[in-house]
Structure 1
């Protein structure tokens, strides 16, 4: 199944903008009024990637358009606002746009293994007080999510109410991704939409750029978030989102969150980031 030519909500995430799909490629041109816009005369040619990567990006674009057609990307009102003063305008993040990870995709980790793995991506396993790797349902679009966290605040029932955490997950073409930059942008916005309840989140990006992870193209978004979540002492934290093109039609996600009240966990998170490897 493929989508016909036409104007569709910008897959790059620009709020209120539409981009033209000619059945094979996206145009460079965008518009705020597709009903009054002519189709671009010469959409840009696809730029081939290394090995099989081009197939992932193109398939991801088509998948995203199909989802648009069936209404997954209908614009809805968000219960609370995410403020990103340094970020480019982007589409609304809703529960529909940011589906939970599926527990059925979580694979077992070797007991006491030196590395935490998800698909082809892995990082050096963090020692205590970080937990053993476990599944996290909140990760948007995540497959085979592997998460380690350390308790920062404890609830009245004795369980953790706020944590520092590091995780990795797989991102597939069918989830609507067509490149590291777009993938990181979508995941970062979904995280701020899902992880903080109805609280308003202010996001200040410190890094938003391309990089290389173990010889593979990647994109990093590093931000400081501020918020006021009821019954949580922490009012801000560091967010690191990295999406890596791991090849074979797949992307890899690295995510870390370090509350301002527990800066001692920032270095382990950065060590995990520095130790990312792509296998196979």
Structure 2
């Protein structure tokens, strides 16, 4: 039987541990050739090591799959370019980019330092943009040569990016930016045969081990609802040919749950044929808010 991603070439960033590792193994099990990218940093983004990515490549090869390690920093412009080149030069093509890499530096807003803000915005937001930019240029070149790609981008946002999270203003801002970037990229890249979607996963990883120190109540005996492997089936499907009609979407995924997130859209509206004055807005705003649904609470509020 043909596997869902047979022959497809997939880049997974931050693929040495947690959700990224689960993605890389799941794609390999479905027949994909995988570029396992990881800079090998600690949980707070310090240090680097080639060992973790190499270990995942060895795991994939032990299962009979094909993979190559890449150790570039995805938030480096040149590093992201080398990452895309690794896929094309090793396997002759690129079909799927899974942007997953990231780390946390959590603090309450009044204690958050500039370096902690910059570091998290850099690895999450620029670390999504830079690989996406270089992959997009590759796919545009392929399309202009006369062969329309059947390519996929899967970005990684978060419930924090959709709803906010106390103590994570830097992470929340980055993940919200990724959600917006996904919408724009989906609109711009459709002409080149590229779909762009995002996930907001919840799973037990190095970044969430304190939050998910205990397993959620399992709906079925033996099911670990917070295992990172629960997230990967959706990502593999989004990377397959089956998803070519799906783009510009955000999916929340955790345990056995998949939810299509319903983002910002126009709600209750009041209009008049002249400029409003501040003094008349009190009843107007009260009426509008009375018609609008209550916002989803910020995590940790």
> Please, what TM-score do these two structures have when normalized by structure 2?
0.25
**Higher strand content, 1 or 2:** 1
Q: Which has the higher helix share?
A: 2
